Amino acid sequence: MNRFLLLALSGLFPALPLFAQFGTWSNTFSPYAATSGVMAGPDLILGTEAGLVILKNGDPGQISFLSGTEGLNSTGITALAWDSLRQEVIAGFQNGDLLFFSPQSGAKRVVSDIRMSTVYEKKQITRLVIDGDMLYIGTGFGFVTYRLTTRLFIIDVSRIRLISSFEGRDFLRRNGLLWVATSQGLFFTPETNPNLKNPDSWTAVSQLNNQDVVRLMSWDTLLVALSPQGTGIIRSGVHSIPSWATDTRLAGKTGRDAARLPDGSLVILNSAGLTRLLPDRSIVTHHAFSNGEFLISQRDSLYLFRASTGLFSVTGSGLTPLYLNGIGFNSFHDLVDDGGWFGGSAGKFGTSITLNDGSGFFTVDQATFPAIRGNAGYLGMETDGNRVLIGTWGSGVISVWSRDSVGVYGSQNSGLSGIAGDPNYVVVLDINRDAAGNLWMLNAFTADQYPLKVKPAGQDWSAVTSLRYPGNPAYDFSKHWVDPSGLHWFEVWDAQSQPSVGLYVLDPKGTPAKTSDDQWKLLTTRSGSGSLPSTIINDIAFDGNGSAWIATPGGLSVLYGANYLTSQSGPIDSQPVYAVQGQSVRAVAIDASGRKWLSLVGGLTVLSPDGDQVEAMYHTGNSPLLSNSISRLFYRGSTGEMICLTDRGLSVLSTGVLQPEDKPTGPTIYPNPFIRGKHSSVWISGASANSDVMILGLDGTVFRRIPSAGSGTIRWDGLDDQGRPLGSGFYLVAIRDTGKGTSAIGKMAIIE
C-alpha cells in the first residue's frame, strides 16, 4: 500500500532542486587539460580529462561540451579519431572504453569490450588510427583491430613482444608493409601476413630497439618516426629491412608529433618547438619553445596544443592563441562573481584573465593590452561598481570596465608602491572591498614597507601605516580577508627566514585614512595567543554569528567572538573542529544554512552548521567533481551554488540553499515526500531573515516551530516539538515573517 501511496505522491509533488548527497553538478572544464585533438570536418574537437570540447567551424565563439553532465559515462579521454565516412568522432578513454559520437545528430554509442576484458590489465587507449574499414586501437597492452562496418573486433597484435609493458603508440600501412610504433621500438610485417599475432612474423628496426617510438608519418617517399632520441627517416624497403637513419639536424630533440601541410612540407613538434621540413628536405625553424603536446591539422589549418598555455593556431608569422568561450585556463587563483561580472585569474605564473560581463567571455593579457607587463601574473580579484580590479605580479592593479576598456594602476598614477630597486614593478597580491565600499590592496615587497594600501570611497589613496609588524618591518603579509564587521585578517610570514608567523588581525575602527586609533592582535599556535592548528593559513570563512572558521594544513579551528577580537583582553584561543581534526584543510566556505564546506585532500566535505558532524563527502569516485584538488570555494547565495575551483576547471554543485529573501516565498521542500528510514532530514528553503517555519496538520495544529536564525534554508528532522516522529500523512509547511507579518504556505507528505 505504501508503494501505491508513493507513486501517487510522486505525481502530486514535482521534482525540486536537489541537495546534499542528492545535489546536481555542472562543470566548466578547460581545454588546457586536453590530451588529444582532431579536425571533424570543419569542427575542431579536443579530448580532455573531463570530456569533449567542440569548436564549431573552429570558432572559439561557438563552443560546446560533452562531459558527464551531458550523458558521458566515462571520463579521461586519451585518444581521438575522425571517421569521415560515417561522420563520427571516435574517442578512446583511460579505462578502455570507446565512444562513437556524431557531432551533427548528437548520437552516442559506447563500446566497452576492452574495458570489460579480463585478459589484459593496462587498458588505456593510447592511439586511434582509421585505415579504410579498419580501426587500429593502440592500448596499454598492444594493438587491437576493429572493423567499423560490422562493429566487430577482429584481432589483437599485442604478441609482437611477450612483455607486460608493451604499449601501442601508432600504426601505418605503407608500400605493402604494416608498421607498428610501440613503447619498445618500431616493428613491421608484410600486410599479407596471415597471423599478426605471431611474434616471429614481425621484424624490429634494430636501431630503435627498446625505444619509445611515439609517432609515425608517411612523407613523400619517406617514413618518419619520432622518439625521445630525435627524428628518424626510413628511406626505402618493401619486404626487406629498410635502411634507417637519424636526421642529425633533429637528433637529441624529443619527438612528439608531426603533421603534413598542403605545400608538401612536414611540421615536426619536438622538445625544441616546431620545425618545418620543406619538400627539398631543407629545414626551417618555425617557432622555438620548450613545451608542446600535440598537433591538429587539416588542409590549410594547423593547431598546436601546449599544456601550460592552451590552444594556438599556427601561422607563418607566429602562434595565435585561441581564447575559448569559457574559462581559458585550468588552475584558478581567484574568482569574481557578483551577478554582472564572472571570471577568474590565472595566478602568479598564469597568462591571462578571463571575464564575462554578460556579453560573453573575453581575455585580458599583454597581447590585447600592451600596457600590462609581459611577465605579470594575475592574482586577487574584486568588483567595484561596474568594473573588475585584478592585482598582478608586476603591473599593479588592472581595471577592466569592458572588453575594450582596460586601465593599469601603478606607482605613477596611484598610491601603490613598487619593489625596492624598481619603483615601476608593483606587486598586488589581493584586493578586497569592505561593506563601506573602501578598497583595500595588499601591496607586497614594497620599498615603503607598508603592505596595505587603501582607497576610501570617494577619497585618495593612502598607506595604512599601522600595518607594519611591530618592531620588525621585514615581515610579509601574504593573504588578506575582510570580515563582515570590518576587521582585516592577514597571513604573516617572515620575509628573511621564510617561516610562517601566524594570523595578524587589524581593526581600523571604521576610519581607513586614520591609523592612530587602529588596534591589532597576532594569533599563533601558542596557547592563549590563538591556539591555531598551524601558523600557515590557507583560508578563512566568517559566519553570521561573529565566528571565524580558519583552515590550515593542521586542521580546521573556529574562533568564537572574532568580531570583537581586537578589543578583548586576556587569553584568546580558537577551538579545534574535531570532525576533521588533523586533516589538511585547503579551503572553507559557509552556505546560507550555516553548513561548512571544506576542501580536504580527498575532495569536498560538508559539515553541519555547528561543525560537529560530517553531512556529505564528494570526490571524483562518487560525483562528477572534476578533481579532488580544490584550491578555493565560492558560495553563490543567490542561486545556492557552491563553486569549486579545481586544477582541472570549475565544478559547481547546486545545493538548494539560498540566501534569505526580503520576505517569505513559497517554500521549496526536499525531499517531498519524506520517507522515514530512507531520509534523515527535510530541507525547507524560502525563509526570510526573521522568519519562523511551522509544521502544521491540515486542521491547523502546530506540531513543530523552527526559527530560521537568519538563514534562507532550515533543516527539519521530521520530529514534533516533543521529539516524537510525525506519522504518515499530509502536512502544511508555513513560513511567517515575524517582523513584517507576511507568510507563505506549502504542502508535504510523510511516509512511514
Confidence of residue 19 (pLDDT cuts 50, 70, 90): very low
How far apart are alpha carbons 545 and 559 in whole angstroms? 11
Is the pLDDT confidence value at 422 over 70? Answer: yes
Taking CA atoms, 104 is separated from 19, 56, 73, 108, 129, in Å, by 35, 10, 20, 11, 22
CB under 8 Å to 596, separation ≥6 — which residues? 541, 549, 556, 577, 588, 589, 590, 606, 607, 608, 609, 611
Find residue 552's DSSP bridge partners. 555
Mean pLDDT, rounded, of the chain: 80
Question: Could you give the domains of the chain?
Answer: 2-8+659-751 (2.60.40.3580)
Confidence of residue 7 (pLDDT cuts 50, 70, 90): very low
Residue 273 carries which side chain, given as an amino acid letter? G
Highest mean pLDDT among 19-33, 69-83, 369-383, 545-559 belongs to 545-559
How far apart are alpha carbons 652 and 633 in whole angstroms? 10
Confidence of residue 731 (pLDDT cuts 50, 70, 90): very high
For residue range 554-564, what is the model confidence (pLDDT) as tens digits? Answer: 999 999 988 77
CA 653 to chain centre: 13
CB under 8 Å to 211, separation ≥6 — which residues? 184, 185, 186, 227, 228, 229
Confidence of residue 158 (pLDDT cuts 50, 70, 90): low
Is the pLDDT confidence value at 67 over 50? Answer: yes
How far apart are alpha carbons 514 and 508 in whole angstroms? 8
For residue range 172-227, what is the model confidence (pLDDT) as tens digits? Answer: 988 888 899 988 888 999 988 888 888 888 888 887 888 888 899 888 778 888 88
How far apart are alpha carbons 322 and 58 in whole angstroms? 10
Which value, in Å, is the radius of gyration of the alpha carbons in the chain?
A: 31
Cβ pair 138, 167 in contact under 8 A? yes
Tell me which residue of 313, 275, 304, 271 sits closest to 289, measured CA to CA.
Answer: 271
Is the pLDDT confidence value at 29 over 90? Answer: no
Tell me which residue of 590, 687, 587 sits closest to 635, measured CA to CA.
Answer: 590
Q: Which three cell numbers stand for residue 155?
A: 584481432
Decide which of 478 and 85 is more confident. 85
How far apart are alpha carbons 669 and 656 in whole angstroms? 10
Looking at residue 601, what is its pLDDT? Answer: 93
The full 3-state SS of 152-182, as one line of letters, equals: EEEEECHHHCCCCCCCEEEEEEECCEEEEEE
CB under 8 Å to 401, separation ≥6 — which residues? 386, 387, 407
Residues in the chain: 752
Looking at residue 463, what is its pLDDT? Answer: 82
Helix-, strand-, coil-residue percentages of the chain, each rounded to 5:
5, 50, 45
What is the pLDDT averaged over residues 373-402?
87
Confidence of residue 3 (pLDDT cuts 50, 70, 90): very low
What is the dihedral angle through the alpha carbons of 487, 490, 494, 499, rounded to the nearest 10 degrees? Answer: 130
Range of weakest confidence among 35-44, 242-251, 458-467: 242-251
How far apart are alpha carbons 396 and 268 in whole angstroms? 40
What is the DSSP pairing of strand 596-600 with strand 587-590? antiparallel
Is the pLDDT confidence value at 710 over 60? Answer: no
Confidence of residue 652 (pLDDT cuts 50, 70, 90): confident
Cβ pair 543, 577 in contact under 8 A? no
Q: Degrees (nearest 5) of the Cα angle 731, 737, 740?
A: 145
What is the pLDDT averaged over residues 33-48?
84
Convert 193-202 to b/e letters by CB count within 10 Å (16 or more is b): eeebeeeebb
Tell me which residue of 329, 8, 575, 500 sits closest to 491, measured CA to CA.
Answer: 500
Phi, psi at 477, each rounded to 5°: -110, 105
Tell me which residue of 222, 224, 199 sits closest to 213, measured CA to CA.
Answer: 224
How far apart are alpha carbons 540 and 481 in whole angstroms? 7
Confidence of residue 688 (pLDDT cuts 50, 70, 90): low
- 10 Å CB burial of residue 214 (0-12, 13-18, 19+) is buried
Q: Where are the beta strands (DSSP E) in 508-547?
A: 519-523, 529-530, 539-542
Phi, psi at 375, each rounded to 5°: -105, 20
Confidence of residue 717 (pLDDT cuts 50, 70, 90): confident
Tell me the three state secondary structure of residue 291. Answer: coil
Highest mean pLDDT among 379-393, 695-709, 728-742 belongs to 379-393
